Amino acid sequence: MPKLWIDERYCKGCLICVEVCPTSAIASSDRINARGYVIPVEKDMSICKVCGLCELMCPDFAIAIEETDFK
């Protein structure tokens, strides 16, 4: 199952990653980072296709996806 990494130091809570995820594996949360921004979280990584859109679209390079089930 893929692993989602969010660097809370850089995330500004734009939630673009949530909007572009084609499987809705990422969701908004009630967590707030030190700068006062809402942090996205894993919703259901079992449905993640590791397409990389979240990484590609993040304007702050604050998110990464790691495929842990290597084929």
Q: Let me know: does 44 contact 17? Beta carbons within 8 Å.
A: no
pLDDT score for 1: 86
31: CATH = 3.30.70.20
3-state SS of the chain?
CCEEEECCCCCCCCCHHHHHCCCCCEECCCCECCCCCECCEECCHHHCCCCCHHHHHCCCCCEEEECCCCC
Whether 31 maps to a domain, the answer reads yes
Does 71 score more than 60 pLDDT?
no
Tens of pLDDT, residue by residue over 22-64, are 999 999 999 999 999 999 999 999 999 999 999 999 999 999 9
Whether 45 maps to a domain, the answer reads yes
Does 69 score more than 80 pLDDT?
no
Taking residue 26's Cβ as centre, other Cβ atoms within 10 Å add up to 25
Query: Which pTM was predicted?
Result: 0.86
Whether 71 maps to a domain, the answer reads no
Pair of tokens at residue 23 = 């499987």
pLDDT score for 5: 94
Q: Domain tally for the chain?
A: 1
